[in-house]
Structure 1
Amino acid sequence: MKTNVGSIDRLIRLLLALVLFYLGLFLYSGSTLGIGLVVAGGVLLVTALIGFCGLYRLLGIHTNQISEQL
């Protein structure tokens, strides 16, 4: 699995995950919306940590700066 998420994209995903966790756990806790926000934050957190996004792969998007040579 090659990384396809760049460092700026990873930072944005991490910050957005923290915001979604806060909203889901504190402001909308116990509701369906809160659970959805926590799940979305979890997905963003995982993709930020591992540097791979499956949706980016399907769409052919690469935000990392490393040029891939085959």
Structure 2
Amino acid sequence: MDTNVGTIDRMLRIGSALVVAGLYAGGVISGTWALGLGVVSGVLLLTGAVSFCPLYRLIGVSTCPVDSTA
């Protein structure tokens, strides 16, 4: 599986997932918002961890730097 999520993109995805987890733990968000944001955050955390986003593949986007030696 090729990677299509670059380093900065990974950091933003993982960071935003951690922010949402912190908001939930602090009681700032709850109910339906927590469920919806939890699902989105889980997807962001997973795609950030494995450096691959299926949606990026579908639309032909990659945030990884281009290897100029190829």
Counterparts of residues 1-70 of structure 1 (less than 5 Å)? 1-25=1-25, 26-29=27-30, 31-67=31-67
Q: What residue ranges of structure 2 are gaps of 5+ in the alignment?
A: none
User: Which 4+ stretches in 1 moved above 3 angstroms?
Assistant: none
Task: Output the aligned Cα RMSD.
Answer: 1.8
- TM-score normalised over the length of structure 1: 0.83
Query: Percent identity among equivalent residues?
Result: 46
Q: Do the aligned partners of 1:5 and 1:63 also contact (CA within 8 Å) in 2?
A: yes
| Higher RCO by CA contacts (8 Å cutoff, separation 6 or greater) | 2
Q: Do the aligned partners of 1:23 and 1:37 also contact (CA within 8 Å) in 2?
A: no
- TM-score normalised over the length of structure 2: 0.83
Q: CA deviation at 1:20?
A: 1.8
Aligned residue pair count: 68
